[in-house]
Every structure is written in C-alpha cells, then in structure tokens.
Amino acid sequence: MNIITSKDNEIIKNIKKLKEKKYRNKENKYIIEGLKLIEEAINENMDIDKIVICEDCMSEENLNSKLLYEIAKYDCIYVSEKVFSTLTDVMVPQGILAVINKKSNIKDINYSEELIIILDGIQDPGNFGTILRTIDSANLKQVIVTNKTVDAYNSKVIRSTMGATFRVNVIESDDIIKTIKEIKKHKFKVAATSLQTDKSVYDVDFSKIAIVIGNEANGVSEEVMNMADIKMKIPMLGKTESLNASVATGILIYEYVRKKLTK
C-alpha cells in the first residue's frame, strides 16, 4: 500500500483546492468528511470520486465490516496524518473524507411538490444546513437559493446537513425575480415572512405555495418582497421580534406538515 506523505502531491493539492468555492464550481466536486457522511453518501448512491484515509490516525477497528467492505469498492488513497491535517476542516477529525461529484441536471424546479422553499441571501452555513435537514425531514426534495446565499457545498453546510444534502436538490437562481415569475406561471402563490403584516402563518393555505426566507440581518430583499402575493408572520407572545432563520423555516415547514396530516 502506497501512503502519500507529501503535501505537494498533485492529488492532494487538487483536493485541497476544493475548499474554495471557485474550484468546487470549476471541478463540479466537493468534500465530505467523517464516517457518518461517507456511509450516507454510499447508501444514497452518490457519485464518489475518491476516498481519502489517514493511515496514521484511523484504524480498521473504527469501521464496521460492512462499511469497510463498501469503502473498498471505491478509489481509496492513503495519506499520512501530516497530509490529512492539510485537508481536514474538523477540529477532531475521524481520519476519513471523500470527494463527491456534484449531481448534474438539477436546474429544473419540480412543480409536483406543494411547498417550495426559497432562500434569499441566507449567509450562515449552520442555518443553511439546518434548513436542508428540515426540508428533508418533511420529505421535500428541493430548495431554491439566490446567488447571494452561502454555497451549498461549503464544508460547514455539508456537515450540518447530516446527510440531507444528498437527498435535497439545491437549485441556484442567478435571477430570482425571473425565477419567481416562472413559479407564479405554475399557479403557485409566493409568500414572504414580514413583520409589516397582521396575517399569521396559521391563516395561510399551504398548498401550492413558495415561501421566501430572508437574510439573517436584513430579511427578504425589497425586490422579492414586492413580488410576494402573501406577507405573513409567526406570532410571538414575548418581546423578541424575530426568530433565527432556520427556526422560522422549521415552524413554517411543520405548519405545512401539520396541515397535510390533518387533511
């Protein structure tokens, strides 16, 4: 078994570049890290380019025999702990990561779903990842993001999705106004969260609706707000005026789930 010990190895340099968005976009690849995510990727039949294993810091005792057998089917490269430390973004790494080829042909919106979530400039990777997990938990398969939203393949986003990233299509819109107009042509109402309304989320019909979640600091952008058919807010009994973006999204999605279950 050959173990890569040089940080200047071409394979290592190419993987390291994937930490940057421009290279992820150029190569159509991204990095996942840890046993749980790699197991999820295998179970979801993701297109795994290669698996990197730290020979110094990971023993086969950490792997169950079934997972070890599955990992062995892929192109595996072994590296020293020094080399692995240049690739990992985790404080206490498990010693294994994988390079995944991005899905192709996920630009088209699936209009068969009753609820579409649009993220208008979400910046916090943890928020984005948590929102993807919530979307997945409701068995929704897509999210639309504006070009001002944090990259879906950012390592922190990937980790916080806990595998949901493999099941939810992230559709990037370069022109959100054009996208919203297209959504409306398919008979969807567009709703935005706003404090400047008396309409509660509990008064809204959640069938064929696209809900816009705004930036953490500034909310829904003005141009998008002007496109909204419905403005609604989450009622709050305390003094806090707004909720964390991922919390608000969770409430909205599970109001959709509640209404679906009670039909």
For 110-156, how does the pLDDT look when each residue is reduced to its tens digit (9 = 90+)?
999 999 999 999 999 999 999 999 999 999 999 999 999 999 999 99
Q: Is the pLDDT of residue 60 over 60?
A: no
Question: What global pTM score does this model have?
Answer: 0.91
Q: How many CB atoms lie within 10 A of CB 242?
A: 15
Question: Tokens for 150?
Answer: 């944090």
Q: How far apart are CA 49 and CA 198, in angstroms?
A: 51
- In which band, very low, low, confident or very high, does the pLDDT at 66 lie, cut at 50, 70 and 90? confident
Which pLDDT belongs to residue 243?
A: 85
- In which band, very low, low, confident or very high, does the pLDDT at 62 lie, cut at 50, 70 and 90? low
In this structure, are residues 116 and 169 in contact, taking their beta carbons and an 8 Å threshold?
Answer: no
**What integer is the mean pLDDT of 21-38?**
95
Query: Hey, which of 50-59, 65-74, 228-237 has the most confident mean pLDDT?
Result: 228-237
- In which band, very low, low, confident or very high, does the pLDDT at 105 lie, cut at 50, 70 and 90? low
- In which band, very low, low, confident or very high, does the pLDDT at 23 lie, cut at 50, 70 and 90? very high
- DSSP code at position 208: S
CATH 3.30.1330.30 in the chain is located at 3-101
**What integer is the mean pLDDT of 64-92?**
90
What is the CATH code for 3-101? 3.30.1330.30
- In which band, very low, low, confident or very high, does the pLDDT at 34 lie, cut at 50, 70 and 90? very high
Of 70, 62, 56, 65, whose CA–CA distance to 35 is shortest?
62
Biggest CA–CA distance in the chain, Å, is: 67
Q: Is the pLDDT of residue 46 over 60?
A: yes
Question: Tokens for 221?
Answer: 């952008």
Question: Tokens for 125?
Answer: 């990777």
- DSSP code at position 253: H
In this structure, are residues 173 and 141 in contact, taking their beta carbons and an 8 Å threshold?
Answer: no
Which pLDDT belongs to residue 138?
A: 97
The structure tokens 């106004």 sit at 177
Burial bucket for residue 196 (CB in 10 Å: 0-12, 13-18, 19+): exposed
Q: How far apart are CA 188 and CA 180, in angstroms?
A: 9
Q: What value does the mean pLDDT of the chain take?
A: 92
**What integer is the mean pLDDT of 249-254?**
96
**What integer is the mean pLDDT of 249-255?**
96
Sequence letter at residue 190: V
Instruction: CATH number for 115-262: choose from 3.30.420.10, 3.40.1280.10, 3.40.50.300, 1.10.3720.10.
Output: 3.40.1280.10
CATH 3.40.1280.10 in the chain is located at 115-262
**What integer is the mean pLDDT of 215-239?**
92
Higher local confidence (pLDDT), 117 or 198: 117
Burial bucket for residue 23 (CB in 10 Å: 0-12, 13-18, 19+): middle
Question: Tokens for 147?
Answer: 């070009």
How much of the chain, in percent, has pLDDT values that exceed 90? Answer: 79
Q: Is the pLDDT of residue 106 over 80?
A: no
Task: Give the pairing type, strands 142-146 and 115-120.
Answer: parallel
Q: How many CB atoms lie within 10 A of CB 121?
A: 22
Task: Give the pairing type, strands 230-232 and 189-193.
Answer: parallel
